[in-house]
Amino acid sequence: MRWMTWNRFSRAAGTTALLAIFSTPAWSGATLDAIRERGQVKCGVSTGVAGFSAPDSKGRWTGLDVDVCRALAAAVLGDGNKVNFVPLNSQQRFTSLQSGQVDLLSRNTSWTLTRDASLGFHFAAVTYYDGQGFLVPKKLKVISAKQLRNAQVCIQSGTTTEKNLSDFSRSQGVPFKPVVYDSFEAAFKAFFSGRCQAYTTDASGLAIVRNKEAPHPEDYMILPELISKEPLGPLVRRGDDEWFAIVKWTVFAMIEAEELGLTQANIDSFRASPSPSIQRFVGTGEDMGKLLGLDKAWSYRIVKAVGNYGEVYERNVGAGSMLKLPRGPNRLWSQGGLMYVPPIR
């Protein structure tokens, strides 16, 4: 009997200890401490990719990747405008993150095994599912990339597009003549000047340059093949698990908000909701923020600052933008897309 009593006591004590461990607030981490001290999130962005990260005519940065940075600033500093945007080209981006020049990269960067496993980074989440394609003049009268045998193809160096083009060429037996440029802008300008018969990059980038940069957009077409998977998302340095978790759950919160029907315009009307999921999200119920080293209203502030993922998508690259890219695989899982995130609980 005494053994049974002691056994029950031991189990109870163990359970109590586990509850104590899992209810302990997270340490803030060195990156979050530095951000709070300086009062800004240093976010590495592109040098100008419309719809993702680009300055407008007044110098204000806009885009899907930019809104991820603003969402982070809202979550950790209470103000989505407290971001220092650092424009980085493809060659600079990884060194700048490794050296601590920026706190994260949010600049249309593809998640690959090599980048995830060998550069000292963690990809936090996927914010846009993309794939590499080809842009060609309609006058070529080609309907497939396989018809571009021996064609000169303009391409940007320092990106996954070079290897993807090589892999596609070898697997399909279609030789290409790559014409490589150091920057996104130089590559597409060379294509539009007639230097190449085709231009290749992510399909979203093709839509951007056709709609925004082509002298006559109707003269060009994006071929139907996608020759790669390009999951794009923010990445952080390894070694600060707390910051990694904050970036990851900031993106998850944007997607979860869309699932819950919470928008920038209506979220305040849900503060009295009886739903436990919504209460946790808007900060009126169980405190999820303490597990990230943040306060209860962290996810509420994200939506107030930038809206939910659907709003961010439509405003920057979707129907409400000049790009008008269809949601496709970037729809919620419940609507036939790939956007599925763990619950906030």
Q: Which of 205, 228, 251 is the last residue of a domain?
A: 228
Terminal C-alpha separation, the chain: 39
- Residue partners of 259: CB distance under 8 A and separation at least 6: 332, 334
Pairing between strand 220-222 and 132-137?
antiparallel
For residue 341, tell me if it sits in a domain: no
Q: Do residues 38 and 118 both lie within one domain?
A: yes
> Is the domain of 154 the same as that of 195?
yes
pLDDT values of the chain reduced to their tens digit, one per residue, 345 residues: 444 444 444 444 444 443 343 444 556 689 999 999 999 999 999 998 899 999 998 999 999 999 999 999 999 999 999 999 999 998 899 999 999 999 999 999 999 999 999 999 999 999 999 999 999 999 999 999 999 999 999 999 888 899 999 999 999 999 999 999 988 889 999 999 999 999 999 999 999 899 889 999 999 999 999 999 999 999 999 999 999 999 999 999 999 999 999 999 999 999 999 999 999 999 999 999 999 999 999 999 999 999 999 999 999 999 999 888 999 999 999 999 999 999 999
Same-domain check for residues 138 and 92: no
Burial class (CB in 10 A: 0-12, 13-18, 19+), 211: middle
Out of 170, 202, 228, a domain closes at: 228
166 is a domain residue: yes
Number of domain units in the chain: 2
124 and 190 part of one domain: no
For helices 241-260 and 298-306, give the axis angle rounded to 10 degrees.
60
Note the Cα 139 to chain centre separation in Å.
35
Query: Which of residues 228, 258, 280 is at a domain's end?
Result: 228
CA angle 186, 189, 192 (to 5 degrees): 155
Does one domain contain both 125 and 237? yes
In a domain, 242, yes or no: yes
Task: Kindly state the tokens that stand for 315.
Answer: 């405003």
Q: In this structure, how many other beta carbons lie within 10 angstroms of the beta carbon of residue 89?
A: 18
Segments forming the whole domain that contains residue 119 = 30-129+232-331
